[in-house]
Amino acid sequence: MPTRKIEKQDWKPFFDGLSKVGGLDSKCAEIEVLGLNLGDHIASEWVPMFGVTYNSKDDVLEVGLEGLDHLIHKPKTIHVEESPAGLLSISVTDEDDLQHIIRLRDPLLLPGKSSP
C-alpha cells in the first residue's frame, strides 16, 4: 500500500478526525522504535489501542495504549499507510532521528467456548 506524508499543520486535525470516527479504539498496535544509536526495539507488542493525539503546544504525539502511553517528542515527519479498509500504520521520525513505526491491526477474535 502507498504511504502519504501528513504535513505538520494537518497533524492535529488528522488525528482528531481519527478519534472522532473511532477508527483506532478498536485496533491493536505494535510499536517498533529504530535508530542508529538505539538499534531496533519493540516498545509494545499488539496491545489494545485507545487513540493517537497531537499536542501542538508541547509538540508531542501521544499514542494511547492499554497500560502504556507512548510519547513521541518533537516529531519531524509523519507518514501514514492506508488501505480502503482504514489506517494500517503510522511512521514518525522524531528530533533525534528515531523512527517510531506504529502498526495497526484488528484484534484477533478467539472462538467462543462450546458447552459440553
The strand pair at 99-105 and 86-94 is best described as antiparallel
Q: Round to whole Å and give the CA distance between 6 and 10.
A: 6
Residue with cell 517528542: 73
**Protein fold of 3-105:** Protein Yojf; Chain: A; (2.70.180)
Is pLDDT above 60 for 115?
Answer: no
Tens of pLDDT, residue by residue over 97-113, are: 999 999 999 877 666 64
The mean of the pLDDT values for the chain is: 89
The sheet carrying 99-105 orders its strands as: 3-6, 75-83, 86-94, 99-105, 28-35, 39-55, 60-65, 68-73
> What pLDDT digit, counting tens, does each position of 46-72 carry?
999 999 999 999 999 999 999 999 999
pLDDT band at 23 (very low <50, low <70, confident <90, very high): low
Q: Please name the amino acid found at residue 53.
A: T
Q: Which helix (H) or strand (E) holds 45?
A: strand 39-55
Q: Is the pLDDT of residue 18 over 90?
A: no
Mean pLDDT for the stretch of residues 17-31: 81
pLDDT of residue 116: 47
Any idea which residue has 502498526 for its cell? 103
- Decide which of 75 and 114 is more confident: 75
DSSP 97: -
Distances (CA, A) of 2 to 89, 97, 106: 11, 22, 20
Per the model's pLDDT, the better-predicted residue between 67 and 19 turns out to be 67
Q: What letter represents residue 9's amino acid?
A: Q
